[in-house]
């Protein structure tokens, strides 16, 4: 599980976004930006009743018996299965329409050494799986994180990954959860965008520096009596940052989310969200990793650059997950409804090989 350890300790970049269509569909999605995927990472279905621990794992013989749970709700998302079959989801949706995932929070994440009295110790990599397994709504996530659990600094596979989280549900509310040196912070009714460090509050305030951005072109410009007529489109967004840093991606997605034309249907919303995520995606070769480590079997041919490995979008109403990969831009889909009768975890390959739909045939 060396590749899993590297992913848990990853210096990755990610972007998350929530949106709503005109017909009342609520969606949440993310870009996963890194230079590899942990071996065994796939689209993963977790059935009701699946046993798991919130602290420790059987594979390391460190599972704490008092933290054992059975999944109340089924879920599907991106993740892997620790032996014997313990799910670790990076993001996903459950049968009640709760959606969410984890993003990297380098330099700011801080967790407690011990759980608060009367609360459950919760290792950061297990928060997504635990919330999707036990919570039906954002409101229940808030209660679980604030009152029932303590995020603890207990290593998993030798690492304590710095993470923060975003969740959304059928009400349309999107929350951000962060734990830093000042304690636990839970932001309600956010603007529906999250990237990486610094924290959400900083990103929100930073938007004031871009208050002049708009979707309408600026008109005639005059300097010292010299009038110049506008001769190109897009001038209203001049100054919109275009690099791949976390602050720039946050501003870019916030601007695009604000001005994006609302989709009429789920299918249209997924398509438009994919375009929004493209604006924050890492092209292979543009963001070099300073300490790339050893590639896994899945990533043997990938150069040491962060890139957008996949984009995943979830719908709270249809319970579908849609995804594309860097190599395969054809949209793939899995429906949680089709799996609810199953009693064992199921994994679906990402299908990362290029897939083209040919419209002609050789005669």
Angular region, 34: left φ>0, alpha ψ -120 to 50, beta rest: beta
CA-CA distance, 42 to 125, in Å (whole number)?
Answer: 16
CA-CA distance, 102 to 124, in Å (whole number)?
Answer: 9
With a cut of 70, say whether residue 303 has pLDDT above it.
no
**C-alpha distances out from residue 247 to 29, 97, 180, 193, Å:** 18, 29, 18, 11
Question: Could you say which of 14, 135, 315, 320 is catalytic?
Answer: 14
DSSP per-residue string spanning 135-193: -SSHHHHHHIIIIIEEEB---BTTB---EEEEEE-TT--EEEEEEETTEEEEE-S--SE
**C-alpha distances out from residue 313 to 45, 203, 325, 359, Å:** 15, 23, 12, 27
Whole-prediction pTM value?
Answer: 0.94
Token pair 């799996």: residue: 339
pLDDT, tens digit, for every residue of 17-63? 999 999 999 999 999 999 888 889 999 999 999 999 999 887 777 78
14 is a catalytic site residue:
yes
pLDDT, tens digit, for every residue of 165-184? 999 999 999 999 999 999 99
pLDDT, tens digit, for every residue of 8-21? 544 568 999 999 99
Helix (H, G, I), strand (E, B) or coil at 270: helix
pLDDT, tens digit, for every residue of 188-201? 999 999 999 999 99
| Residue 358 burial (CB count, 10 A) | 6
What are the boundaries of each domain within the chain? 2-348
pLDDT, tens digit, for every residue of 183-237? 999 999 999 999 999 999 999 999 999 999 999 998 888 899 899 888 889 999 9
Please tell me the predicted confidence (pLDDT) of residue 7: 52
CA-CA distance, 185 to 108, in Å (whole number)?
Answer: 12
CA-CA distance, 228 to 233, in Å (whole number)?
Answer: 14
Running DSSP on this structure, what letter comes out for residue 338? G
CB 18 within 8 A of CB 26: yes
Token pair 């601007």: residue: 255
Say how many CA atoms lie within 13 Å of 20 toward its Cβ: 12
For the domain made up of 2-348, the CATH class stated in words is: alpha beta
Reference 278, options 258, 241, 253; nearest CA is 253
Main-chain dihedrals φ then ψ at residue 107, nearest 5 degrees: 85, -5
Reference 173, options 208, 140, 206, 197; nearest CA is 140
**H-helix or E-strand spanning residue 6:** helix 2-8
């Amino acid at each position: 599980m060396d590749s899993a350890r590297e992913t848990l300790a990853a210096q990755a970049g990610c972007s998350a976004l929530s949106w709503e269509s005109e017909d009342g569909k609520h969606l949440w999605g993310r870009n996963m930006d890194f230079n590899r995927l942990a071996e065994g990472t796939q689209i993963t279905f977790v059935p009701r009743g699946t046993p798991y621990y919130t602290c420790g794992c059987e594979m390391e013989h460190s599972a704490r018996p008092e933290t054992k749970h059975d999944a109340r709700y089924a879920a599907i998302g991106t993740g892997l299965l620790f032996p014997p079959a313990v799910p670790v989801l990076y993001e996903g949706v459950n049968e009640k329409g709760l959606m969410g995932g984890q993003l990297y929070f380098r330099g700011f994440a801080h967790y407690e050494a011990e759980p608060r009295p009367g609360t459950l110790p919760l290792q950061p990599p297990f928060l997504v799986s635990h919330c999707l397994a036990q919570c039906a709504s954002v409101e229940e996530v808030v209660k679980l994180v604030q009152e029932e659990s303590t995020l603890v600094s207990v290593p998993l596979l030798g690492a304590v990954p710095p993470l923060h989280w975003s969740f959304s549900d059928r009400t349309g509310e999107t929350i951000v959860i962060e734990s830093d040196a000042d304690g636990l912070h839970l932001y309600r009714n956010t603007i529906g965008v999250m990237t990486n460090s610094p924290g959400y509050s900083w990103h929100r305030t930073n938007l004031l520096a871009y208050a002049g951005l708009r979707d309408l072109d600026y008109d005639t410009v005059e300097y010292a009596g010299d009038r110049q007529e506008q001769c190109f489109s897009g001038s209203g967004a001049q100054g919109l940052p275009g690099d791949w840093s976390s602050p720039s991606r946050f501003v870019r997605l916030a601007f695009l989310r604000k001005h994006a034309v609302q989709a009429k249907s789920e299918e249209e919303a997924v398509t438009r969200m994919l375009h929004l995520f493209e604006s924050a995606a890492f092209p292979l070769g543009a963001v070099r990793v300073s300490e790339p480590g050893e590639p896994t079997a899945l990533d043997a041919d990938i150069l040491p650059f962060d890139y957008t490995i996949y984009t995943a979008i979830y719908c709270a109403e249809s319970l579908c997950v849609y995804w594309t990969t860097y190599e395969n831009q054809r949209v793939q889909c899995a429906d949680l409804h089709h799996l609810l009768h199953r009693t064992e975890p199921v994994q679906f390959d990402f299908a990362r090989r290029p897939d083209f739909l040919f419209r002609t045939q050789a005669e």
